[in-house]
Amino acid sequence: MKLVGKTAVVTGAASGIGWATAETLAAAEACVIVADIARDQGEAAASTLQKKGFKAEYVHLDVTDDMSIAKFTETVQAKMGGADIVVNGAGWGQIKAFWDMPLDVWSKIVALNLVGPMKLVKSFLPKMMERNSGKIVNVSSDAGRVGSSGETVYAGAKGGLIAFTKSLAREVARYNINVNCVCPGPTETPLLFAVPEKHLEAFKRAIPFRRFGKPQEVADAILFFVSSRSDYITGQVLSVNGGLTMVG
Ligand SMILES: NC(=O)c1ccc[n+]([C@@H]2O[C@H](COP(=O)([O-])OP(=O)(O)OC[C@H]3O[C@@H](n4cnc5c(N)ncnc54)[C@H](O)[C@@H]3O)[C@@H](O)[C@H]2O)c1
């Protein structure tokens, strides 16, 4: 699957699933904009890709900050004339009982996993509509499909991202823009390894394949959704989870 001549914005590209996605899309010959709040890690990620001979550049982005989104979009428009592909990979959550979670943590979770991705998409849409083409992939979570104890606010935000994906897919189909969603199950990234050991063991026992996912396995699903192989697929939700959930 080749992405020659395409510009791909990947948020959260400094780590985990975002990083695997950035590397995969760059290897498919897209020019990848490594978008992340972590400047040092983001610059290092872009430089690693460049050293491999891939086209990549780091542009700072805080998905939870309107000014940052505006500046980011302006920079990408100026340098690349817009984005052909937007992958909303940045995300974060915390495991805590719903009633114990402080409101400021709620706000961060909703801003990062739902409202920020919606704003980023809105900022890149006009150019995609003008060009009559585009691919948008939102990284949600199985938590957003089936719920997850201790991740109630996160699940709410990720569920919102799924509903956003489907509705937007309907609205922008007339502009030849595909909007799809990938839901990782527990995947081997720094985010997962922040979860207490006892939860990790329980997760693993519940997965039919009895192992966690690898970031590359999620990136491969994202590659499919941003490539021409999925031109007739929109508004869909694909779990990459070793069979943990099987939603009909
Ligand atoms: N790892 C899992 O088990 C798992 C499971 C389900 C869903 N997910 C989802 O997959 C996505 C990627 O997660 P991951 O596991 O690779 O996490 P990760 O922590 O390895 O990477 C997340 C990246 O997002 C960046 N980021 C955080 N806040 C940001 C902000 N405000 N603006 C821009 N960038 C920001 C971080 O700097 C980091 O580079 C997230 O949306 C996450 O919710 C992960």
What is the arithmetic mean of pLDDT over 125-151? 97
**What's the confidence (pLDDT) of residue 199?**
83
Is the pLDDT at 198 greater than 90? The verdict is no
**What's the confidence (pLDDT) of residue 41?**
98
What is the arithmetic mean of pLDDT over 176-191? 96
Q: Using CA atoms, how far apart are residues 61 and 78, in angstroms rounded to an integer? A: 16
pTM: 0.98
Are β-strands 177-184 and 237-240 bridged in parallel, bridged antiparallel, or unpaired?
Answer: parallel
Nearest protein CA to atom 25 of ligand 1, as residue: 12
Pocket test for ligand 1, best of 15, 151, 207 (most atoms within 8 A of CB): 15
The ranges assigned to domains in the chain are 7-237
What is the arithmetic mean of pLDDT over 9-18? 98
Task: Point out the residues that are catalytic.
Answer: 154
**What's the confidence (pLDDT) of residue 196?**
84
**What's the confidence (pLDDT) of residue 248?**
80
- CATH 3.40.50.720, domain 7-237, yes or no: yes
Q: Using CA atoms, how far apart are residues 150 and 48, in angstroms rounded to an integer? A: 36
